Amino acid sequence: MQKTAIITGGAKGIGRAVSLAFARAGYAVAVLYHTSEAAAEALVQEIETDGGRAAAIPCDVRDSASVQNAVDAVHKHLGKVDVLVNNAGISEQILFTDITDEKWADMLAVHLTGAFYMTRAVLPDMLHQKAGRIVNIASMWGETGGSCEVHYSAAKAGLIGLTKALAKELAPSGITVNAVSPGAIDTDMMRLLGEETCRAVAEDTPMERLGAPEEVAAAVLFLAGDGAGYITGQILSVNGGAVI
């Protein structure tokens, strides 16, 4: 029976690469998006043209009702949920003293509270079948902290804590919870920093290049597969040796 994977923020960047990787591996893919409707619809059309099954579903992960509506839509169009990839994210470089209450709350809402809402919504499926894979997209800044990215680093560090704690709680139910922690990845979000900054970051990475979204996707797909059944509560870093 075909398995179904939900990818939040699945239309662009790392999320797009993850969505394509799962579709090519034979999963039905729910591409959840917030504002990137056109990109999500185009991705679904690409997957279906290649013979896969997919659905573009709107979702604001900051809102629990929106999350539940999205999961209900997945059930309607694709069936029960076997894999959840919590990828939706935002970023911002800003001095700590310039972080407003709203900026702080929004960063945690997208990265941490959103993962909580999504996981809570899909768990009934996984608990019922005593199987499931949850993969959270963390960041090397959640492991090390990033200057001028305190709210982002804190949110990702919280996501790593959620991963480790929930893995212990769900292990007896046959559900694994892991995180992939990307370093500097060549996405539109990274490119917003400018060509000079991207070049400098690449030079500072031991492998002397930016990572590709597809390399992150491969790690996510591995953790969702049958071969990773005895791996849980782990942080798989995809960072070119930047953090060891």
Beta strands (DSSP E) in the chain are 4-7, 28-33, 54-58, 83-86, 132-137, 175-182, 235-238
Q: Which residue in 44, 47, 22 sits closest to 32, CA to CA?
A: 44
Contact indicator for 147, 204 with CB cutoff of 8 Å: no
Which amino acid makes up residue 37? Answer: E
Q: SS3 of 58, please?
A: strand
| Rounded Cα distance, 207 and 192, in Å | 22
Residues 6+ apart with CB under 8 A from 51: none
| Rounded Cα distance, 163 and 115, in Å | 10
Does the annotation count 152 as an active-site position?
yes
Q: Residues 27, 33, 117, 152: which is the catalytic one?
A: 152
3-state helix, strand, coil in the chain (%, to 5): 55, 15, 30
Location of structure tokens 């900026």: 103
| Rounded Cα distance, 216 and 220, in Å | 6
Active site residue ranges: 152
